[in-house]
């Protein structure tokens, strides 16, 4: 079981209190009516599924009921960080490849 730090509650809590909501940092197209079917379909349905470092959105359903983002390794399940919505991750696959942790 994962122990997840909620950046809003400020506590580590059991994974059972949270719900994973998929890839983080998905931006809605600014002009949906100007999108092609291909662009709209990509936005609606296609997500990355990387092996390794991934940024995910999570929901603290049994706690503060707020959404936040997490940087997690999909192979090792290591959680590098959690951060509030609107913030940018400090850990990325590129920063880890450069030797930072």
Residues binding Zn ion (CB under 5 A): 6, 8-9, 60, 63-64
Nearer to Zn ion, 57 or 96 (CB): 57
Tell me how far, at minimum, the Cβ of 64 lies from Zn ion, in Å.
Answer: 3
Nearer to Zn ion, 35 or 64 (CB): 64
Please give the full DSSP string across 1-38, using - where no structure is assigned.
Answer: --EEEETTTTEEEEGGG-EEEEES-PPPPS-GGGS-HH
Radius of gyration of the chain (CA): 15
Residue in the block written with tokens 């696959």: 93
Tell me how far, at minimum, the Cβ of 78 lies from Zn ion, in Å.
Answer: 21
Nearer to Zn ion, 24 or 53 (CB): 24
Tell me how far, at minimum, the Cβ of 94 lies from Zn ion, in Å.
Answer: 29
How far is Cα 4 from Cα 10, in angstroms, rounded to an integer? 10
Nearer to Zn ion, 53 or 68 (CB): 68
Tell me how far, at minimum, the Cβ of 9 lies from Zn ion, in Å.
Answer: 3
């Amino acid at each position: 079981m994962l122990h997840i730090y909620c950046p809003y509650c400020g506590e580590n809590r059991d994974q059972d209190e949270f719900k994973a909501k998929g890839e983080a940092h998905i931006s809605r197209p600014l002009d949906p009516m100007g999108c092609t079917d291909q662009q709209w379909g990509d936005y609606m349905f296609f997500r990355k599924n990387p092996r390794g470092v991934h940024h995910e959105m999570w929901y603290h359903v049994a706690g503060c009921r707020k959404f936040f983002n997490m940087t997690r390794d999909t192979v090792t399940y290591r959680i590098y960080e959690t951060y509030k919505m609107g913030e940018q991750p400090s850990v990325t696959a590129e920063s880890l490849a450069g030797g930072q942790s």
